[in-house]
Amino acid sequence: MISARTPGAPIGVYDSGVGGLSVLRHIRAQLPAEDLIYFADSGHAPYGEKTEQYVVDRALLVAAFLLERGIKALVVACNTATVAAIKAVRARYPDLPVVGVEPGLKPAAAATRSGKVGVLATARTLKGEKFLQLREQISAATKAEFLLQPCIGLVDQIELGDLETPAIAALLEQYVAPLLDQGADTLVLGCTHYPFVQTGIERVLRAHGHQDVTLIDTGDAVARQLGRLLDGAGLLHPAPEAGQPSASLHGYTTADVGALAPAFANLLGLHPKVEKVVV
């Protein structure tokens, strides 16, 4: 049963795992009155190495689960799910405001001086028709050259929770260094997990004498777009009055709670209630 959408209802934020927390932090900062439900599909991650149909099926199941919990809007805080499945989610729920994330090719094309932009993303994102169309469009309009780098295995490592491991450092070196060698002066973080290893990426940049490379993350822009959409639909949560409880945050995961709860604590310093669910 889908409840009526009202300004007081929560917003669903969904990712294949903990990566969407890098978007959720911008939503909390920009829209502090909003109640949020975070869904980590960690039991089925990584999406980036699955088929497109698998990701579509998961996205529809998760959207249905969140609608049963009364969400007024959905943020698909996952590049892979946005590229593969946002069309299907919008077609299934035409009245639901849905915001997706896509690799920030447009801001990257505006930022590059060398004309070469490295795009770090999952293999599935970089193969998706929606992404390839975006690349065509932006390179035709700006003449920027996009160097595509699938980062196989990086999401699995970030999901494990420790961001300062030799395995992560080795993967970042393997994926970032060739882009620098090819002249990229701008790197797009095209997966919502990657902002959590930004320090490691910056370490690779420094090691190669390229600390002036610009990193592009669209979490902030996604939160702004969500605010605009809610405002336009008359769905912004009214600011709480004095004495009223502050906005709520609830987490669901399809893997062990022992992965999502520490991620909230370590990545964002938050301690919401987290439940394991079968979806």
Q: Out of 73, 78, 98, 119, name the contact with ligand DGL by CB under 6 A.
A: 78
Determine contact, residues 223/36, Cβ cutoff 8 Å: no
Determine contact, residues 96/73, Cβ cutoff 8 Å: yes
Q: Which of 62, 78, 83, 189 is catalytic?
A: 78
Structure tokens at 21: 């927390």
80 vs 186 by CB, closer to ligand DGL: 80
Q: Out of 59, 80, 197, 259, name the contact with ligand DGL by CB under 6 A.
A: 80
Integer Cα distance of 104 and 54 in angstroms? 24
Integer Cα distance of 103 and 78 in angstroms? 10
Structure tokens at 262: 């520490």
Q: Which of residues 85-124 bind ligand DGL (CB under 6 A)?
A: 122
Nearest CA-CA partner of 249 in 266, 227, 224, 270: 270
Is 157 among the residues that bind ligand DGL (CB under 6 A)? no
Annotated binding-site residue numbers: 15-16, 47-48, 79-80, 192-193
Q: Out of 16, 112, 149, 218, name the contact with ligand DGL by CB under 6 A.
A: 16
Nearest CA-CA partner of 86 in 122, 108, 58: 58
Q: How many Cα atoms occupy the beta-carbon half-sphere of 189 within 13 Å?
A: 27
Q: Which of 9, 40, 154, 191 is catalytic?
A: 191
Determine contact, residues 247/270, Cβ cutoff 8 Å: no
Query: In the bound complex, what is the minimum distance in angstroms from residue 189's beta carbon to ligand DGL?
Result: 9
In the residue annotation, 78 being an active-site residue is answered as yes
15 vs 185 by CB, closer to ligand DGL: 15
Integer Cα distance of 194 and 91 in angstroms? 29
122 vs 186 by CB, closer to ligand DGL: 122
Annotated binding-site residue numbers for substrate: 15-16, 47-48, 79-80, 192-193
Q: Which stretch binds ligand DGL (CB under 6 A): 10-18, 64-72, 204-212, 221-229?
A: 10-18
Determine contact, residues 173/205, Cβ cutoff 8 Å: no
Integer Cα distance of 201 and 194 in angstroms? 9
Query: In the bound complex, what is the minimum distance in angstroms from residue 211's beta carbon to ligand DGL?
Result: 25
Site string for ligand DGL, 43-72 (x = CB under 6 A): --xxxx------------------------
Integer Cα distance of 72 and 246 in angstroms? 18
Site string for ligand DGL, 17-46 (x = CB under 6 A): x-x-------------------------xx
Q: Which of residues 186-225 bind ligand DGL (CB under 6 A)?
A: 191-193
* 3-state secondary structure at position 265: helix
Q: Which residues is 40 bridged to in the sheet?
A: 15, 253
**Residues labelled as active-site residues:** 78, 191
Residues lying near ligand DGL in the complex (CB under 6 A) are found at: 15-17, 19, 45-48, 78-80, 122, 125, 155, 191-193
